[in-house]
Structure 1
């Protein structure tokens, strides 16, 4: 079962907000009247603990009054500004490692209604080379992260472990053989137009060959770990409505619960 945090957050904010409003409209005035009457009878202000005893705020009202502002702020920040994610797999190596904690700009591609994910404010369109978080088309409850290589209308070809965009091979510069004596992986610097980033190719992995024409309103995405990535080459395109946001920074690396978080890896995502 996949835990839909966004749905729980929206529901929690709504429930605590309604409870707080109901208490304020229907019950707070009566409590204040009881406190005023008690102070009049005592001939002066009551101590704080005595006021609380007279007012008798119900637990659900006290809880909602405390939690609603917190949940509302978290909802706004997470839905419209920035959301943190943790990298669960190696499909974006060497750019992103398993256990990296990243920040995602939620408004870069437009503002969307929480849970429904429908866009109500248009902003930027994805560009070739962007690292994006999106809801997996075959199971929207799961978030994926990949790099955009194909825009609507592009013809993408992948052959001999080289990416072609509209018939033009994207240049690759060999940086290292890993390990040097008996290499299992090749580290390249790849150029996607003006965007340069590193990728891995596995020496032993079979060559994946295919050609795709990206439909309107959709994007073609691949992982930087080219021979170990479940991406558009296997399941198709990412519709615009499933985009979550643009990944822009790594702020921490914490691969295991018992390991020590590493904040020295903070960097901008290229």
Structure 2
């Protein structure tokens, strides 16, 4: 998603509210003076009429999207098997605190993302774009991903093999499905049989906190990072087909949009409607 809907709705809200006030204090008294109180509204311009009619609707949508829940559409398969391309999800906007819309300034802290949470955030490389990944590390954690295995603070995260992934049309190759248990919470991930090469795609902030683990002078297949305070290490559940913190670094807390919690629509697979995200 690249369009700033919060800014668009804020502008619409300000414009319609301004027209509503202008009509109440300036335009309507003039119409009353010219046509009388009984016929004043009959001579209201279409622009003023539309602004007054749409103002409560715009206000409702603005408050809903800014402080309660915001819809997003999954555009890729980086979160398979948890989320599919085409899933339309809802994101809880107050799980981690109340933020002022447009400027995204947190004014009431209510909590912080935890390991295992699926979060939507502004992509650190281009903050006009929203990404969705799973938090695997919080500030102070040491995260290691090597040989397809994730470790947090020196402890390898348990994996339980589930067998081949059953939807090859959405995933090239022959991925295997595993259940990963992170901080006591289970979720499924995909892993390909062969090793994948890892290398940063940008010189991201705090890149010195990461060490890429070579198997030869030219090839790296693992990474170990110390997560800075107030930031997060995120990964896609489709581990070999996800560009995430392994490639472009950490997610600052100020970039967090909210916690994904519900699939409300998928036009290609109606059975996914109403599924909670874990």
Using the size of structure 2 for normalisation, the TM-score is: 0.85
Whichever of the two has the greater Rg, that structure is 1
1:234 has 2:247 as partner: yes
Structure 1 Cα separation of the partners of residues 130 and 63 of structure 2: 20
Structure 2 Cα separation of the partners of residues 240 and 118 of structure 1: 10
8 Å contact kept, 2:148–2:195: no
Describe the shift of the 1:241–1:232 C-alpha distance in structure 2 as closer, same or farther (beyond 3 A).
Answer: same
Structure 1 Cα separation of the partners of residues 152 and 272 of structure 2: 36
Describe the shift of the 1:85–1:171 C-alpha distance in structure 2 as closer, same or farther (beyond 3 A).
Answer: same
1:152 has 2:139 as partner: yes
Equivalence for 1:258: none
1:253 has 2:253 as partner: no
Structure 2 Cα separation of the partners of residues 264 and 224 of structure 1: 18
The runs of 5 or more residues in structure 1 that have no matched partner are 40-50, 256-260
Deviates more, 1:19-28 or 1:199-208: 199-208
Equivalence for 2:207: none
8 Å contact kept, 2:119–2:135: yes
8 Å contact kept, 1:84–1:101: yes
Q: What is the CA deviation profile of residues 89-111 of structure 1, one whole-angstrom value per residue up to 9, with x for unaligned ones? A: 00000000000011100011111
The SS at the match of 2:181 is strand
8 Å contact kept, 1:251–1:263: no
1:199 has 2:189 as partner: yes
8 Å contact kept, 2:2–2:130: no
Equivalence for 2:218: none
Equivalence for 2:223: 210
Aligned CA RMSD, in angstroms, stands at 1.9
1:132 has 2:114 as partner: no
Structure 2 Cα separation of the partners of residues 105 and 238 of structure 1: 18
Equivalence for 1:225: 238
Size of the aligned set, in residue pairs, is 249
